[in-house]
Homo-oligomer: A and B are copies of this chain.
Amino acid sequence: MRSYRQYCPIARALDLVGERWTLLVVRELLLQGPCRFTDLRNGLPGIASNLLSGRLKELEEAGLISREEAPPPIATTLYALSPTGRALEPVLRALGMWGLQLLADEREEDAFQPHWLAYASSCFTTDGDPGAPPVVIQLLASGRAALIEIGPGGVQARVGRALAPDLTLEGRPRSALDLLTGAIDLAAATRAGLIATGNLDVLTRLRPIASIGRPPVEN
């Protein structure tokens, strides 16, 4: 394993998770929970299968993930984050917060999956009315689904489909993001091609934290 050979916590951390794709693998495991090889591959468009295989092996050796042979009816191996791996969440949150500004330019060639947006949303918003009953927002795109759950645990993101979401958002990721950050209102988002169905009031539950929503920094 390649190392920076520096007695520095940051360098040591990067020794383990600084290689290409590694933190994105952690992102997927964090959002999807225990999942199969194929689930990871689907959540990481562009990764080569040998590379994913190699990363999983390295991460297991480093103690960041565990590999478990699930009994039937699953009958396959599941990958899951260990506590040490889950402890990387603040790193992903910080990276995600910093990277938000970079989403201002929407590139047509970029892949998109709704759980990425759900996670971003859970990072930059808090529950605006913690006492109120829990609500669920469904995000749909590219034939996949993710959820933003607002409840006692705060704002949480996960992959999956809800039976009866309070609100469903579907459409161009940029307009959904702008709506969730509070950069635009629902009318503008709809005009930008977003389809929102359900109880639109649940959007008021999502309170974007300060210091986001500014235009992309040019300097």
Where the two chains meet, the residues of A that have a C-beta atom closer than 8 Å to any C-beta of B are 4-16, 18, 20, 23-24, 27, 45-46, 63, 66, 82-84, 87-88, 90-103, 106-107, 109-113, 116-117, 120, 173-174, 217-219
Contact partners of A63 in chain B: CB under 8 A: 217-219
Contact of B46 with A13 in the complex, beta carbons under 8 Å: no
Known: A6-B45, A24-B14, A82-B219. A95 touches B91 (CB 8 A): yes
A and B contact pairs by CB, cutoff 8 A, 16 listed: A5-B45, A6-B45, A7-B111, A7-B112, A8-B99, A8-B112, A9-B102, A9-B116, A10-B92, A13-B98, A13-B99, A13-B102, A14-B24, A18-B23, A82-B219, A91-B91
Contact of A173 with B103 in the complex, beta carbons under 8 Å: no
Contact partners of A15 in chain B: CB under 8 A: 102
Contact of A99 with B10 in the complex, beta carbons under 8 Å: yes
User: In the complex, A174 Cα to B9 Cα: how many Å?
Assistant: 12
Contact of A90 with B97 in the complex, beta carbons under 8 Å: yes
Contact of B5 with A116 in the complex, beta carbons under 8 Å: no
User: In the complex, A4 Cα to B10 Cα: how many Å?
Assistant: 23
Residue among A16, A101, A102 with the highest chain B CB neighbour number at 10 A: A102
User: Which residue of chain B has its CB nearest to the CB of A211?
Assistant: B87
Closest 5 CB pairs of A and B: A13-B99, A9-B99, A8-B116, A12-B102, A90-B94
